[in-house]
Structure 1
Amino acid sequence: MATLIDKPIADICDIARLAGEAILEIYQRDFEVQTKSDQSPLTEADLAAHNVIVKGLQAATPDIPILSEEAADISWQVRQTWQTFWLVDPLDGTKEFIKKNGEFTVNIALIHNNKPVLGVVYAPVLDKLYFADENGSFLTENGATRRLKVEAPAVGETVKIVGSRSHPSPDLAEYLTRFENYEMVPVGSSLKFCMVAEGAAHIYPRLGPTMNWDTGAGHCVAEQAGATVCQLDGSALLYNHQESLLNPYFEVK
């Protein structure tokens, strides 16, 4: 990554961990839930993590712009000039945070030429840190770090398909008809990408709405572990390549 940022990926992992600490402080006590204009939930943890990440990234890479879910009101006129930028979801899986099931993450991705080239996904409750760049995809947990590699299902093996816990899609039922033998694994947040990356699931089809910041970091983690991340027609899943930040349907396998 030396060609794009001077800071090593370890520094970005540290920023994600700090954001996770800010989230956990709020997670362990009572908190209020607000509703944003798109009817999605917002908590003080989203904002606390956002502030930690923006402060850290601005200090580490002052010349690289930041697009965060909690500060996404940046005009297309400005964004379309960006060749390289940080893409951040400070708390991915706010519904899981509110349910207190632990399945939420901090997502930080570096996008270059509309593609993720660095990704960090941190699950604070699980204390699992996924990170990826051109050197590969890795997971740190229980004090140890290991390289991740996707695993294709063997002939006759039950296909493990990971899907959204809080956003079921009516299109998924039709998609599942192509499989003779499958098991659905419901999981929240960008952990779905990470499960494919570490071989805990085989396929993640997303047949429902997501935004750029929901997927950038997990996309990088899965791709650098050997997964293919693409739209349903096989074309690339791109970032900030148009005015809308809404992703098309996609598939990770």
Structure 2
Amino acid sequence: MNVRYFIRTFPVLAVCIAGVSAANAEAASSDWDFSAIVGWAWRDIDGTLFSLSPPLSGAATADSLGLGNSSEPDAAIGVRWKRLDLKFVYLPSRFTGDGVLVQALDFGSGPVIGTTTPISSDIKVTMQLANIEYLVLKRTDMDLGVGVGIGQVDLDITMTPQAGNNVDISGDVPFGYLSGTFLKRWGKFALNLGLQGLSVSSSSTSVAYKSLNIAGAYRFWQREKLGFDMLAGYRYVDFDYQFDDNNSGARSATNLELTGPYVGVRAAW
């Protein structure tokens, strides 16, 4: 073997190998994308917080309880690997108001005795969502993804009547759903449309969930791969849950609508 030739060519080979390794590392790193969102949301609540069927009937709606608007922070994080997109979303809401709790006693053959109780309410509704999507379409100016997710709604209801004991209701309802996302880019601007939903019934329990999220984004800062976006959007959520109460034997139901705008900042890298 020509030693002089090897000595002359080894640095060239080393540079080539290093270049290939760096290119592979850069390609591998470009397969990953991360994002984090911190925002503020204003939400209205509508629908029925809870209702009971006879013999003891009762209902607490957003209108009857006089609930106001919610103004709370929310957050989300996302991880993308090639065409797989994983997202986690945290959406807390809190509503307070003064109204009435409507109740009725139905004895079947006898008269229905109805009562209304003046009451102050503090309602906390927290939604936690996690879903994974596959980008069936991935371009520099457009993404289209479909996937599945799991979620949970946490309810914490405290109602204080003018006389008597507090009414405390708390619990969590897990559920699954299908999801779809469409993203369109125009330079520094982007528009995102997200749909989620599913309806499931099993025995005496049924859960229905649907959500629409529309958001616009503007990329106001960019350095290499790190970028920051200003976000503004609108979210609509409808959640319906019905079950048989084993303690009272009554049919219980919750149907909530949460709607409102939000703003935020997203970091992407």
Give TM-score scaled by structure 2 length. Answer: 0.26
Higher helix share: 1
Larger radius of gyration: 2
Give TM-score scaled by structure 1 length. Answer: 0.27
